[in-house]
Chain A
Amino acid sequence: MSTATTKVDTITVTINGQTIQVPKGTRIIQAAEMLGIEIPTFCYQPRMRPNAACRICTVEVTKPMNKMFMACATEMMDGMEVLTDSERTLKDRQTNLDLLLTQHPLDCPVCDKGGECKLQDYSVKYGSFENPFETKRKDFPEDIRSVALDFNSNRCILCGGCIQVCGDIQQVDAIGFSKRGFITVVGAPMGEALDCEFCGQCMDVCPVGAITSRFAKYKFRPWQEEKTQTTCTYCGCGCQYDLRTVDGEASRVTPIEGVGPGQGSLCVRGHFGYHFMEDDRRITRPLVRRGDKLVETTWEEAVSEAARGLAGAKAAGAGRVAGIAGGRLTNEEQYLFGRLVRDVLGSSNLDSSLRYGAINGVTVTREALGVTGMMNSFDEVRAADAVLLIGCDITQEAPILGLAVKEAIHKGEKPVLVADSMKTEIMKRGAGRLVYTPGTEIAVIKGLVKAVVDEGLIDEQVAKKYPKAVQALRSELSGTYKEIETPTGLKKDDIVALAKRFAAASKGIILAGPRVTGGLKGKSAMTMLVDLAFLTGGLTTPGAGVNAITMENNELGLALNGMAPELVPGGGSWDDAEARGKVATAWNCSLPNHQGDTMMEMFDAMREGRISAAIVAGTDPVGRLPQDAGAAEALGALDCLVVSDLFLSETAKRAHVVFPARSYAEKDGTVTNMEGRVQTITSCMKAPGKAASDWKIVSDIAREMGHPLEYANPGEIRAEAAALVPQFADTDVTNAARGGVSTEALEAWLAGGFGTGMGERYDLPAKLNEASGHEMRLYVGELLFHSGSMSTYNWGLMKINDAASLQLNSREARKLKIKEGDRVRLTGDRGSCVVTAKPDPNIMPGTLFFPRHSVLDDVRNLVQVVEGSEEEGSVPQFRFTRVTMEKVSGVAEAEASA
């Protein structure tokens, strides 16, 4: 190494006599951290630019000049010498604390920060007990009007951290200071009650007890708590946090700075959704059906009844048993469940919630790029030059990935390009927007690909290297824009403009949401997006790419464990005899040699009596799918239905045997997030009653059936699974870190699968233009405050948001004289129902939105399911429907119900 280059990149500095080489631009605090020297800070946040408001970090610089400097904000110079505990430093620190304590209340005994409060700690360590200043303590009332966060401005030391995190990281700008000087208070502007995204990050960064949680109010002391690092299981982001418990009861959740996909950020669900484990509605004992009723029974009895039922169906013929698993199970549990169905029960009818999730996204990227899950990591999203979101309300569906997108925009003033059917939160920050008619994603995507081809936006290198593929696409897209403009309601110019902006970015990332992968012709739509990425160089440029987001926590685990009839463990396809052979060898069994039924086919078979027994774990098909899917009748027709769940779900209500399952806080194992990271969940709470991990339940049933699958702990299962699923061998590694796109896979794809069915891929479905007697388009989607149905068992989250109301365009509402809280009747081809309306300016005219989490509402049942063809991944489309809306008066409703 030449000295010249060393000089450019690194500098030599000395802190408290210890010399260290640090990169140029390192601030004093960072260098001190490297040396393990502690400097007190209030407002410093490692992930944010220095705020330099509190000045507690002041240290003495002795060389090259003798002066006091703020450690958090000062970049070091070569040869700088710093003293962090010189007399002068200590004196300044003491004065700083003395001044703070002239106003600070004596609330420590009742303050929820007590015990982990920086002001407390520093006062003891650096303060004086002889405050020379006049005391004038603040005594403002505490603002407890918001549902989740209490603001006590008396304790606020005005460091500004909360405002910064809300503005820079969460980018909501929900809070600020009002007034000046002594009477400065922190909270929502204009003295309003706070009503924000309730991510709780302002509370996390507050060094004192000025912002505290309403849900944990006065319920803990930090020294009473036990901390367990675990993974949030609400969505596919898989954020890491500490679940804290006092005597085995959840007290609160705290983020871990710099760790995991979120890097220390959490969303409202992860932060405040920790109550469902202790809900009274949990099932605590096994239940068996006696006539119309489910009655409690012993574990042994339940196991033997379940085993009897499943074995009976197995004996009656191959393929008479089906298994459906969910993303709530850990990798290990899914693996064992799959083995139970395919090996012990000898049936290939194995499907999972992946079917009504992102199976199309997962399959397409695996086939085309050799990646199961996202090809980009969240970090790559943070560093992207442009992000294109399609059918993806990212801040609601995957909030922390949403933060990564926000960071990408914020950092480099880079464009985020959004195409969606409503004005989403991220669209408001977007540089390019397309608001299309709900359900027409495929046409929008076709338009974008067409624009890239027509406008000469194809990446030069791609055009040179793969002329044949480019030509094939070109000839497929020779039609006019008319077929795109009509259904989507978009203009050609807008589509072209968006495509141009995306193509201009060198590191462009595409994120496809559930409305693409689960929409009409979802597989084709996803494949077109791969084409789009391919043409713009996204598959060959590091840091660029195309991704489908998965919404359920361990949805990717389902794919890796082969929990779909067309997949095998390891994520390979069932058609691949070699992959199948590997599984058969590992399990020492012969796998059934025909591909099994997908979920919708299973339902048909159940209704027709071809399948007579089923086992369902960790998902609720009856509750998740609209009535039209026929899950209730199908599962109700079985001779034996075995279900394991935490709560008596709609599916469990129809079961013959119900096993009480454990929540993520009561079991050990791993889950895979959408980036492909395998992360650990650790048990730290006592399971209620007899509740057991799903792998235990599976193992017990298998033993009873005379085919033992015995393991001492999930670790053993994982070790076995890792032989088939190499991803399980390493923890916390993203797909991107594993190498991202596999070049062989891509070449093979371009040589083979790429051209197959290209004509059909670009044929728009006739359904797009189908006329209907109903003029409104209703779509069912996700809300930030809830995900799946589990979140609705949290009293905390329900307090923040329990509204199951229908959102409609405000202007339209005014025209129809509908106010918030009014009741409206929706009528569709599948019946009608009455709901509460909520006008919202972000909803487009002619469109209605209803949150999907609300399990009890009839709105979901209005949806007509469009069954996907086999080529389209057999994915049922159930997010859109056409309805007529009319206002009902209170009287009319009362009469109707009478």
Chain B
Amino acid sequence: MGLIRNIFMTELLMGLKIVFMQMFKPTITLQYPHVKHPIPDGYRGLMSLLRYEDGTERCVGCSLCEAACPSNCIKVVSDEVPGQPLVRYAREYYLDITRCIFCGFCTEACPVDALAMTKVYEAAVYDRRDLMFDKAKLYELGERYLEDGKAYLTHHRMDDGTLHPVEGLGDNRYHFPAVDAEHGGVQPEQIGLTAEALEVEETTR
């Protein structure tokens, strides 16, 4: 047996068989960085902050992302928007990418879908300080990779889609308490509100 195998070089043929079979299959090695692998929608890459279509910042500065972050890399400085009483926003927002573990908990904590992860994974920089993202940088990323963000949020949607419109970012706009400087909201009748006039909202269950 051994002799025959040696004479006919069966091992070689067996090996060549694989070689020839592979020759006719399509190539899968990518010429990174010239060619890049498509990234799935749920991918957790660099973080970004999103705006509504009219340009308003989505983030309401609730600091829930900060509380949810297991590696403590988010810092939110919230405030009332100047000139817009009762509207809350993040006056400052910092995310230390060097400490981020890309768990995505913050995006899940966010009540207004202001945070989304992009498909950007190339985070290398020459200066580590550039990895301390501030609010401007995060919104810039959000603008540049808006499609990534939308895809991310759609993919990670955990509810059945009734609370949040399914396609990425609908007009899921935050409902801030209303201001009535004149009447102060004290007397509902004065502002034309009666119990009946108040909309009855069904539970979403």
Q: Is the CB of A217 within 8 A of B201?
A: no
Q: How far apart sit A105 and B181, CA to CA, in the bound complex (Å)?
A: 20
- CB of B198 within 8 A of chain A? yes
Interface positions, chain B 68-83, Cβ under 8 Å from A, are 78-80
Interface string of B55-87 (1 = CB under 8 A from A): 000001111101100000000001110000110
Q: Is the CB of B112 within 8 A of A109?
A: yes
- CB-defined contacts of B79 to chain A, threshold 8 Å: 218-219
- CB of A188 within 8 A of chain B? yes
With contacts A110-B62, A134-B203, A223-B67 taken as known, whether A142 is within 8 angstroms of B186 at the C-beta atoms is no
- CB-defined contacts of B185 to chain A, threshold 8 Å: 140-143, 151-153, 185
- CB of A410 within 8 A of chain B? no
CB distance from B27 to the nearest CB of A (A): 50
Q: How far apart sit A110 and B79, CA to CA, in the bound complex (Å)?
A: 10
Q: Is the CB of B63 within 8 A of A144?
A: no
With contacts A134-B203, A142-B179 taken as known, whether A221 is within 8 angstroms of B78 at the C-beta atoms is yes
When C-beta atoms are compared, the residue in chain B nearest to A192 turns out to be B186
- CB of B188 within 8 A of chain A? yes
- CB-defined contacts of A14 to chain B, threshold 8 Å: none
When C-beta atoms are compared, the residue in chain B nearest to A194 turns out to be B184
- CB of A224 within 8 A of chain B? yes
Q: Is the CB of B78 within 8 A of A136?
A: no
Q: How far apart sit A218 and B81, CA to CA, in the bound complex (Å)?
A: 9
- CB-defined contacts of B180 to chain A, threshold 8 Å: 141-143
- CB of B121 within 8 A of chain A? no
- CB of B183 within 8 A of chain A? yes
- CB-defined contacts of A219 to chain B, threshold 8 Å: 78-79
Q: How far apart sit A91 and B111, CA to CA, in the bound complex (Å)?
A: 29
Q: Is the CB of A191 within 8 A of B80?
A: no
With contacts A107-B177, A137-B201 taken as known, whether A183 is within 8 angstroms of B60 at the C-beta atoms is no
- CB-defined contacts of A217 to chain B, threshold 8 Å: 80
- CB of A19 within 8 A of chain B? no
Q: How far apart sit A137 and B200, CA to CA, in the bound complex (Å)?
A: 7
Q: How far apart sit A550 and B129, CA to CA, in the bound complex (Å)?
A: 54
A174-182, A745-753, A793-801: which lies at the B interface? A174-182
Interface string of A126-150 (1 = CB under 8 A from B): 0000110011111111111100001
Q: Is the CB of B201 within 8 A of A142?
A: no
- CB of A504 within 8 A of chain B? no
- CB-defined contacts of A218 to chain B, threshold 8 Å: 61, 78-80, 88
Q: Is the CB of A144 within 8 A of B184?
A: yes
Interface positions, chain A 65-120, Cβ under 8 Å from B, are 105-110, 114-115
- CB-defined contacts of B178 to chain A, threshold 8 Å: 139-142
Q: Is the CB of A183 within 8 A of B184?
A: no
- CB of A193 within 8 A of chain B? yes
Q: Interface centre among B85, B112, B188, by most A CB within 10 Å?
A: B188
Q: How far apart sit A152 and B176, CA to CA, in the bound complex (Å)?
A: 11
Q: Is the CB of A179 within 8 A of B177?
A: no
Q: Interface centre among A144, A151, A181, by most B CB within 10 Å?
A: A144
Q: Is the CB of A187 within 8 A of B186?
A: yes
Interface string of B76-109 (1 = CB under 8 A from A): 0011100001101000000000000000000000
Q: How far apart sit A219 and B81, CA to CA, in the bound complex (Å)?
A: 11
CB distance from A183 to the nearest CB of B (A): 5
Interface residues on A, range: 35 or more
- CB of A352 within 8 A of chain B? no
- CB of A170 within 8 A of chain B? no
- CB of B37 within 8 A of chain A? no
- CB-defined contacts of B205 to chain A, threshold 8 Å: 130-131
When C-beta atoms are compared, the residue in chain B nearest to A102 turns out to be B203
- CB-defined contacts of A881 to chain B, threshold 8 Å: none
Of B64, B175, B183, B200, which one neighbours A136 at CB under 8 angstroms? B200
- CB-defined contacts of B61 to chain A, threshold 8 Å: 110, 218
Q: How far apart sit A583 and B156, CA to CA, in the bound complex (Å)?
A: 76
- CB of B52 within 8 A of chain A? no
Q: Is the CB of A109 within 8 A of B60?
A: yes
- CB of B123 within 8 A of chain A? no
- CB of A440 within 8 A of chain B? no
When C-beta atoms are compared, the residue in chain A nearest to B111 turns out to be A109
Q: Is the CB of B195 within 8 A of A182?
A: yes
Of B66, B112, B183, which one neighbours A141 at CB under 8 angstroms? B183
- CB of A424 within 8 A of chain B? no
Of A109, A110, A145, A220, which one neighbours B184 at CB under 8 angstroms? A145
With contacts A141-B177, A183-B194, A219-B79 taken as known, whether A224 is within 8 angstroms of B187 at the C-beta atoms is no
Q: Is the CB of B194 within 8 A of A131?
A: no
Interface string of A220-237 (1 = CB under 8 A from B): 110110000000000000
CB distance from A105 to the nearest CB of B (A): 8
Interface residues on B, range: 35 or more
CB distance from A129 to the nearest CB of B (A): 9
Q: Is the CB of A181 within 8 A of B195?
A: yes
- CB of B193 within 8 A of chain A? yes
- CB of A347 within 8 A of chain B? no
- CB of A360 within 8 A of chain B? no
- CB of A792 within 8 A of chain B? no
- CB-defined contacts of A105 to chain B, threshold 8 Å: 177
Q: Is the CB of A221 within 8 A of B184?
A: no
- CB-defined contacts of A178 to chain B, threshold 8 Å: 186-187
Q: Is the CB of B60 within 8 A of A110?
A: yes
- CB-defined contacts of A672 to chain B, threshold 8 Å: none
Q: Is the CB of B186 within 8 A of A139?
A: no
- CB of A154 within 8 A of chain B? yes
Q: Is the CB of A185 within 8 A of B186?
A: yes
CB distance from B62 to the nearest CB of A (A): 4
When C-beta atoms are compared, the residue in chain A nearest to B200 turns out to be A136
- CB of B136 within 8 A of chain A? no
When C-beta atoms are compared, the residue in chain A nearest to B112 turns out to be A109
CB distance from A166 to the nearest CB of B (A): 16
With contacts A109-B64, A109-B111, A142-B86 taken as known, whether A185 is within 8 angstroms of B187 at the C-beta atoms is yes
- CB-defined contacts of A223 to chain B, threshold 8 Å: 63, 67
Q: How far apart sit A115 and B85, CA to CA, in the bound complex (Å)?
A: 22
Interface positions, chain B 138-194, Cβ under 8 Å from A, are 174-181, 183-191, 193-194
Q: Is the CB of B62 within 8 A of A109?
A: yes
With contacts A153-B185, A191-B184 taken as known, whether A136 is within 8 angstroms of B201 at the C-beta atoms is yes
Q: Is the CB of B179 within 8 A of A179?
A: no
Q: How far apart sit A179 and B193, CA to CA, in the bound complex (Å)?
A: 12
Q: Interface centre among A109, A137, A153, A221, by most B CB within 10 Å?
A: A109
- CB of B11 within 8 A of chain A? no
Q: Is the CB of A136 within 8 A of B187?
A: no
With contacts A109-B60, A137-B201, A221-B63 taken as known, whether A152 is within 8 angstroms of B186 at the C-beta atoms is no
Q: Is the CB of B187 within 8 A of A110?
A: no
- CB-defined contacts of B203 to chain A, threshold 8 Å: 131, 134-135
- CB-defined contacts of B191 to chain A, threshold 8 Å: 140-141
Interface string of A162-203 (1 = CB under 8 A from B): 000000000000000011011101011001110000000000
With contacts A135-B201, A179-B188, A224-B63 taken as known, whether A191 is within 8 angstroms of B183 at the C-beta atoms is yes
Q: Interface centre among A105, A140, A143, A152, by most B CB within 10 Å?
A: A140
- CB of B53 within 8 A of chain A? no
Q: How far apart sit A844 and B80, CA to CA, in the bound complex (Å)?
A: 44
- CB-defined contacts of B67 to chain A, threshold 8 Å: 115, 221, 223
- CB-defined contacts of B186 to chain A, threshold 8 Å: 143, 151, 153, 178, 185, 187-188, 191-192
Q: How far apart sit A224 and B66, CA to CA, in the bound complex (Å)?
A: 9
- CB-defined contacts of B181 to chain A, threshold 8 Å: 144-145
- CB of B122 within 8 A of chain A? no
Q: How far apart sit A136 and B197, CA to CA, in the bound complex (Å)?
A: 11
Q: Is the CB of B188 within 8 A of A185?
A: yes
Please name 12 further chain A to chain B contacts, defined as beta carbons within 8 Å, in addition to the given A108-B111, A114-B62, A150-B86, sorted by A numbering: A109-B64, A109-B111, A109-B112, A141-B185, A143-B186, A144-B184, A153-B186, A178-B187, A179-B187, A185-B187, A191-B190, A192-B186
Shortest 10 CB-CB distances between A and B: which pairs? A141-B185, A141-B180, A143-B184, A109-B62, A141-B178, A142-B177, A191-B187, A191-B186, A110-B88, A140-B185
Could you pull out 6 A-B pairs where Cβ atoms are within 8 angstroms? A110-B61, A178-B187, A182-B198, A191-B186, A220-B78, A221-B66
